[in-house]
Structure 1
Amino acid sequence: MQIIQTVVVKQILTEKSRQQLFDNYHERNLQLQKECDQLQFELKRVEKTKTFSSGALKTHFEKEIQMRKEKTKLLEFQIDQLHILPLGSELKEKEVQALVEINIGDKWDERLGQPVIIIKDGIIEDIR
């Protein structure tokens, strides 16, 4: 019988992966800033037309802008932490699903321990 099991994928921090993560965080940060600017522009445009209830609409726009600003703060924190982390640190990248074969007589605890895949610069280093 086969079952689906969650496998954690971790990345070993190298100079190359650090730079890729930094570029990714920076790009997402810029995208969030563009979205904030666009929302502020749309809010001003809608306020000038005065065809909608300005109180509820303004609250909605401000909520969306605030959400993006919080995401920006989180990204800035992650960038700061990225510079602090020593090379060789293992970072949880994501989780994937895997099929696992189980049979009668298998030890349950051994078969279903949390497997981990270790990646270094895009190459699988280890499977634990």
Structure 2
Amino acid sequence: MEIIRKIPVKQVLTEASKEKMQHQFHREWKQLDQECQQLSFEKRRIESKQNVSREEVSKRFQKELDRRKEKMRWVEYQLEQLDILPLGSELTDSEVETVVTVEIGSNWEDIMSEGAIVVEDGKVIRIDR
């Protein structure tokens, strides 16, 4: 029998990958900031209309603004952590699914033990099983 199992893809932190991640985090932060500005604008526009509950509008928009600001704080935290991490650190980047063969007598712990694909600057350097 074959089953599908998820395994992590780990990125080795190099100067190039660190710089790429920093740019990605900055882009994400800018996008969230633009969304906050747009939400604030829309909030003011809708509040200025007649026949709307300003309290309700304010509450809904504030909830979305708070959600984005929390994401911005998370991105800032990730940037701080990225600065602290030494080069050569392995960071979990994503997950992929793999097909594993299971037979009677197979060691379940071996099958389900965490393996990983380790990538450095876009090249697979190691596959842990």
Please say whether Structure 1 and Structure 2 have the same fold, judged by a TM-score greater than 0.5.
Answer: yes
Q: Quick check: 1:49 aligned with 2:69?
A: no
State how many pairs are aligned: 128
Q: How does 1:23-42 map to 2 (within 5 A)?
A: 23-42=23-42
Instruction: Write the distance in 1 (CA, Å) between the matches of 2:60 and 2:97.
Output: 37
Partner of 1:79: 79
Q: How does 1:87-126 map to 2 (within 5 A)?
A: 87-126=87-126
Instruction: Write the distance in 2 (CA, Å) between the matches of 1:36 and 1:50.
Output: 24
Instruction: Write the distance in 2 (CA, Å) between the matches of 1:58 and 1:50.
Output: 14
Superposition deviation, residue 91 in structure 1: 0.5
Instruction: Write the distance in 1 (CA, Å) between the matches of 2:51 and 2:22.
Output: 43
Gapped regions of structure 1 (runs ≥ 5): none
Superposition deviation, residue 90 in structure 1: 0.6
Instruction: Write the distance in 2 (CA, Å) between the matches of 1:68 and 1:42.
Output: 15
Superposition deviation, residue 99 in structure 1: 0.8
Superposition deviation, residue 118 in structure 1: 0.6
Amino acid at match of 1:82: L
Superposition deviation, residue 50 in structure 1: 2.6
Q: TM-score, normalised by structure 1?
A: 0.95
Of stretches 109-118 and 12-21 in structure 1, the one that deviates more from structure 2 is 109-118
CA RMSD of aligned residues (A): 1.0
Question: 4+ runs of 1 displaced by more than 6 Å?
Answer: none
SS at match of 1:49: coil
Instruction: Write the distance in 2 (CA, Å) between the matches of 1:67 and 1:42.
Output: 16
Of stretches 69-78 and 95-104 in structure 1, the one that deviates more from structure 2 is 95-104
Amino acid at match of 1:51: N
Amino acid at match of 1:31: Q
SS at match of 2:69: helix
Partner of 1:17: 17
Gapped regions of structure 2 (runs ≥ 5): none
Identical amino acids, percent of aligned pairs? 40
Superposition deviation, residue 103 in structure 1: 2.0
Instruction: Write the distance in 2 (CA, Å) between the matches of 1:36 and 1:74.
Output: 15
Superposition deviation, residue 12 in structure 1: 0.4
